[in-house]
Structure 1
Amino acid sequence: MKKVMNLKNLLFCALFALTMSLNAVNVQAETLDYLGQTIDGSILTDKLESSGEYLSVARSTYLHQGTVRITNNGGGYVGIFGGTECNVSCNTVKLNVYLERSNGNGNFYSYQKWENVEYNTNSVYMSKQVKVEKGYYYRLRGYHSCTKNGVIENGGSVTDGIYIG
């Protein structure tokens, strides 16, 4: 009788483990079901990297361009790069980078942010690697600006969302 109870307990545990593992796979599949959809202007992708760029309009005197790029570096790490470039040396050059995330069925929300300011130069850049939570789509938004003799020029850039699983 005791062997029958142990066998039943063992069978129950095996079925429970199998059920839990199948549920874990379904959660990821549901997240990946959002591939190709557009949220807040960003396409949800499973690509390893995405870039966004701001190019100044023809009338822009000082601000030339701004760039942000996000990469899936594996193991739950994302690479972050951003830059602001001006046509001439400016009093102030700024780069704000916003890392945002979405679960796929809603908007992107702020996750982390960085601000870089340089003075009396024509560019500012940043690059870093950040550990993030797996199971989400991540994107970057960049704010690029420069000031010269009291004149401010600015623009924004945004990447598509890349899945970090």
Structure 2
Amino acid sequence: MKKAMKLKSLLFCAMLVFALAVNTVNVQADALDYLGNTIDESVLTNDMESVGTYQSVARSTYLHEGYVRITNNGNGYVGIGGATLCNVTCNTVKLNVYLERSSGPEDFYSYKKWENVDYSTNSLYFSTQIKVEKGYYYRLRGYHSCTKNGVTENGGSVTDGIYIG
């Protein structure tokens, strides 16, 4: 009788070890595990939008300010917008917008870009919406430029990274 009990206990332990071995869980870091980290000067957030601005220095003659704005529009859609604003009408106004992405542990890298230019104006605006892959952080970088009479003033803006899940 004691042998049968020992055998049952041993069999139970073997089955338990086998069950644990078969049901192991592979643990990997999820993109949301990186919330709050700073990657390449952008904080990783779960916010619905982020705005990055460039404010010209006090002595700027032509370029007043620039901004880029990224929004989580849901279902994998991202809203993208920006502007370059000049103090006066300029010969050439530029706004380049760069969409970048990161999974969390690595730097942001280029995903898509838009180059915009207008002439004889004091402002340039851009906006669009695109579908992106879910599970990544996305941010915008902007390049803002105003040129008048051969003199160019420029600056850059960058948003924080927003998670699109």
Distance in 1 (CA, whole Å) between partners of 2:130 and 2:83 is 17
The residue that corresponds to 1:116 in the other structure is: 116
Q: Look up the SS of the partner of 2:30 in the other structure.
A: helix
The residue that corresponds to 1:7 in the other structure is: none
Q: Look up the SS of the partner of 1:98 in the other structure.
A: strand
What are the residue-to-residue correspondences of 1:136-147 with 2, within 5 Å?
A: 136-147=136-147
Alpha-carbon offset, residue 113 of structure 1: 0.1
The percentage of counterpart residues that share the same residue type is 76
1:110-160 deviation per Cα after TM superposition (whole angstroms, max 9, x unaligned): 000001100000010101001000000000000000100000000000000
Distance in 2 (CA, whole Å) between partners of 1:30 and 1:164 is 13
1:81-135 deviation per Cα after TM superposition (whole angstroms, max 9, x unaligned): 0100000000000000000000000000000000110000001010100100000
The residue that corresponds to 1:67 in the other structure is: 67
Structure 1 counterpart of 2:63, which letter?
L
Structure 2 counterpart of 1:139, which letter?
R
Q: Which structure's CA Rg is the greater one?
A: 2
Alpha-carbon offset, residue 31 of structure 1: 1.0
The residue that corresponds to 2:47 in the other structure is: 47
Structure 1 counterpart of 2:146, which letter?
C
Q: Look up the SS of the partner of 1:60 in the other structure.
A: coil
Q: Look up the SS of the partner of 1:33 in the other structure.
A: helix
The residue that corresponds to 2:81 in the other structure is: 81
Structure 2 counterpart of 1:112, which letter?
K
User: Aligned pair 1:159/2:159, yes or no?
Assistant: yes
Distance in 2 (CA, whole Å) between partners of 1:123 and 1:130 is 24
Alpha-carbon offset, residue 36 of structure 1: 0.1
User: Aligned pair 1:56/2:56, yes or no?
Assistant: yes
Alpha-carbon offset, residue 30 of structure 1: 1.8
CA RMSD of aligned residues (A): 1.3
Distance in 2 (CA, whole Å) between partners of 1:35 and 1:106 is 13
| Equivalences, count | 142
Q: Look up the SS of the partner of 1:153 in the other structure.
A: strand
Distance in 1 (CA, whole Å) between partners of 2:85 and 2:62 is 9
Distance in 1 (CA, whole Å) between partners of 2:150 and 2:67 is 24
Q: Look up the SS of the partner of 1:58 in the other structure.
A: coil
**TM-score, length basis structure 2:** 0.83
The 4+ residue runs of structure 1 with deviation greater than 4 A are none
What are the residue-to-residue correspondences of 1:91-110 with 2, within 5 Å?
A: 91-110=91-110
What are the residue-to-residue correspondences of 1:125-136 with 2, within 5 Å?
A: 125-136=125-136
